[in-house]
Structure 1
């Protein structure tokens, strides 16, 4: 079964607040509670909803975030990614096409801590070059 407009509205509501009771979702969507629950179950079964998660509030979020763009030596990806996994400040790592091979999103409590982690990343065996972008403010955050 395809994802329809009601499913997309349901996903949007759950993305804003995954703790909304089924009764509230039902009222907002204008459909029966049992239908809402059946749709949630179906979306989970199909993998459209992978799970429900906690979003940290501003008081728990790290103060400084950055993106590091890495060019790596040929066949060094596994070793570089293994090194990145050991750094708790590294949140996500993406492979990419173009001038850089990896996009690394990281966070820290201070600029000094961030600077040290960026040094660790630059010094990792297999990293040829890196470019760092410090996040200043968030204008849109649909991922939470």
Structure 2
């Protein structure tokens, strides 16, 4: 079931994306609603799956300093084994399947160039990987992640 969100739901979600630790009373005050109304909406959004959890976003000082993207080509039917290997590499943060020239887009975060290099080597030597191309992130110009 896809939840139907109205403008108030979207405003509530935006406030939580900015700071998920805001007390319900503060959320209610900022939205001009009763605290019980906000609490009921939060419960409905959680039940419907629109909100699936609350998380911590790290600041610059706590994030890994090096980030890279590996574009990976894999052999036919090698997906499950390659994904299992990628899952075992601590520096691998996110893996997306893609359309086009590459099969997987692998996002990596590392503390050192050595850790990044070793992670890229582990990806390249994985059984079922035909080839890869890596892109080291230099700076972030836009970041709209939730």
TM over 0.5: yes
Match of 1:125 among 116, 127, 140: 127
User: Which 5+ residue runs of structure 2 have no aligned equivalent?
Assistant: none
Alignment deviations for residues 66-115 of structure 1 (CA, whole Å, 9 cap, x no partner): 11111100000011001111100011111111111111111101122101
Q: How far off is 1:138 after superposition?
A: 2.1
Aligned partners of 1:98 and 1:46: how far apart in 2?
34
**What are the equivalent positions in structure 2 for 1:1-144 lying under 5 Å apart?**
2-143=4-145
Question: After TM superposition, what 4+ stretches of structure 1 lie above 3 angstroms from structure 2?
Answer: none
Aligned partners of 1:141 and 1:12: how far apart in 2?
15
Aligned residues: 144
* Matched residue SS, 1:88: coil
User: Which 5+ residue runs of structure 1 have no aligned equivalent?
Assistant: none
TM-score, L = length of structure 1 = 0.94
The CA RMSD measured in Å over matched residues stands at 1.3
TM-score, L = length of structure 2 = 0.93
